[in-house]
Structures are given as structure tokens and as C-alpha cells.
Amino acid sequence: MRVMIWVDAEGISGVTSWEQVLAGRSRYEEGRRLITQEVNAAVRGAKLAGAQDIVVVDSHGAGGDHSFRNLIPELLEPGADYVLGAAWTTYTRPLEDGCDGAIFLGFHAKAGTPDGVLSHTVSESWLNFSLNGEVVGEIAICAAVCGHFGVPVWLVTGDAATCREAEAILGDSVKTLCVKEGLTRFAARCLAPQEAWRRIEMAVAEVVQYPPKVAPYRPASPTTLRVEFTAPEHVRGYLHEGVKQVNQRVVEVTADDFYTAWRTLWRR
């Protein structure tokens, strides 16, 4: 069994503040430890269920040299490979090589979700992101990247809003694990970290041993992506070939399939 674990930060139990997930902030090292321990729990679960090939991809942009390098190497669980430093959505080798399933760990809800802890889509400069006219978030983006290579998403962990969003996008068959309930965007009722780790280990072991019947997420083709920014100055960095500026704050891409459209928009 070959498993890819895609890791973000805002959906980790105990994380409720930007101070914990942005490099150089006062509680960033605390956040790194919490992320690393949830990753370790997921790896233990995958190993327990007999996975032979486990690849963990750090996909949280913390800023500066810590972007996609949030995991603490010396604390990581043996038995997996860890991808550090690869820009978000660019490292797809496990998917290309025939990964059996993906696990989204520590994900967060889309921008504008009132009970989504640290909810956003891509960055604070993105007000809304739509896929074929439907406003979605990073769960849909990452799932569509996996789906392009025929890989289903088996499990999504995060807050209650994240789990709700995952089920809306991927269907009732996807497994979700809620490790905290958002009270506001910056407050949550959280599981104790060790309890979250225990549940994550069990949930990952279950989906690896008994994969849910989830189809790979493939948006309809042709695919149109649209980004509405918070201010006009953010548009400039996205005016690549193939990207249309709709108005002062909106850009749009249409292509034959999601992945082509995404790689046209997101050039990192």
C-alpha cells in the first residue's frame, strides 16, 4: 500500500492563532511541535495498517525560509519519507507513481467560513476562489490535484468546518476526523493533543487497512478557475500567459482540465 500524507497547519489540534503557524512569530515553535506530532501519529497509523510506502509532504507556507519546512526533522517518526521545501501543490511524484490514496492532515476551511479556525484560501490576499462557478477552498484544490492522477482522498482531518467542507466536496464516503470545533475564526474547543494523536493514528490505520470507496475528485472539463482578490495590487503577480484579467480584482483561467488550468494560474 502506497500512501501520501499532505500536511497543513491551521487544522491541527491546539492551533488557533497565526502566531503558531507563521515563521518568526512568538509561538511558531510550539506550532511546529504540534504539527510534527500529528504527522507522527498519522505515520504510525499507516505503518500499523501495513503501508509499505509512506510519503509525507509539508505543504504549509509559513513564510520565509520556513515555508514548507515546518516539520522538525529530528522528531519525525521513522518509516516514512518527508518532503520539505517543495512549493505547495508542485510535488506530485507519489501521485504520478501510483499512490493508492491520500490523507489530508491538519487542513482548514475555505475563506469566509465563520466557524473555520484560521479559515482562508491560499493567502489572506485571496477573497474568493471558484472552480467552475462554485466557491471552494484548498481541500478542493488539493483533491483535484490528486484526482488528476487518479488518486482518491481517503481521510481529511481538521476542525468541524473542514470536515463539513470535505464531505460536501468529496461525498459522504470520505472519512473525516474532527480534532477541534471552531467557536470563531480565532477560538476553538480542541481535543487534548495526545487524544488527537491517538484518534489520528486509529483513523489513518482504518483507512489504509480498509480504504473507503471514494472516487478520485475530477472537476468537469473544460475547467474555469477564478480568483477574487482583496485589493487590486494583488492581481499583478498572476497576470501570466493564459490568465485573463476580468476586472481590477479578479482573474480567470479556462483550460481543458483542472490541472492545466491550475498550473497556468499557480506558477511557483
pLDDT of residue 104: 99
pLDDT average, residue stretch 237-261: 97
pLDDT of residue 103: 99
User: Are 143 and 154 contacting, i.e. CB atoms less than 8 angstroms apart?
Assistant: no
10 is in an annotated binding site: yes
Tens digits of residue pLDDT in 88-119: 999 999 999 999 999 999 999 999 999 999 99
The answer to whether residue 46 scores a pLDDT higher than 80 is yes
Tens digits of residue pLDDT in 161-183: 999 999 999 999 999 999 999 99
Q: Which of 120, 148, 234, 240 is catalytic?
A: 120
The answer to whether residue 268 scores a pLDDT higher than 90 is no
User: Are 5 and 59 contacting, i.e. CB atoms less than 8 angstroms apart?
Assistant: no
pLDDT average, residue stretch 49-74: 96
Does the annotation count 240 as an active-site position? no
Tens digits of residue pLDDT in 193-225: 999 999 999 999 999 999 999 999 999 999 999
138 is in an annotated binding site: yes
The answer to whether residue 267 scores a pLDDT higher than 90 is no
List C-alpha distances in Å: 86 to 91, 214, 256, 261.
6, 27, 26, 20
Question: Is CATH 2.60.40.10 correct for 2-111+135-209?
Answer: no
Domain boundaries, the chain: 2-111+135-209, 223-265
165 is in an annotated binding site: no
